[in-house]
Amino acid sequence: MFLSELEPIAEASTAREKSAKEGASSGKRIYFTVEENLELQELFKDFILKKKTPSPAIIEERLHTSKKNQGLIHKYSIRKITKKISNLNAGPRARMGKY
């Protein structure tokens, strides 16, 4: 009787482990450093002043410039840089979230 009670509990715990593995995050969050932020603002200052997000082709050109000048941001993906510039353009109130 005791053994039969343990079997459903064991099945339930394996089901929880499987669902936990499926929802696991891919890795740790990596923040932009101060130097990377300065380089990003320097390379994309025309877009930041206009509050516009550059196209992927323009970002790729600027990444090549960064790599040629031994910069830091060329290691990031185009998508990540697009998000970063878009968030810089949004301003501090938009980044805080809705109330």
As a whole number of angstroms, the distance between CA 14 and CA 92 comes to 44
Q: How far apart are the first and last CA of the chain?
A: 55
Q: pLDDT tens digits for 3-52? A: 555 555 545 445 555 555 565 667 888 889 999 999 999 999 999 999 99
Q: pLDDT tens digits for 57-79? A: 999 999 999 999 999 999 999 99
Nearest to 68 by CA among 56, 60, 80: 60
* Domain boundaries of the chain, sorted by first residue: 34-92
As a whole number of angstroms, the distance between CA 39 and CA 36 comes to 5
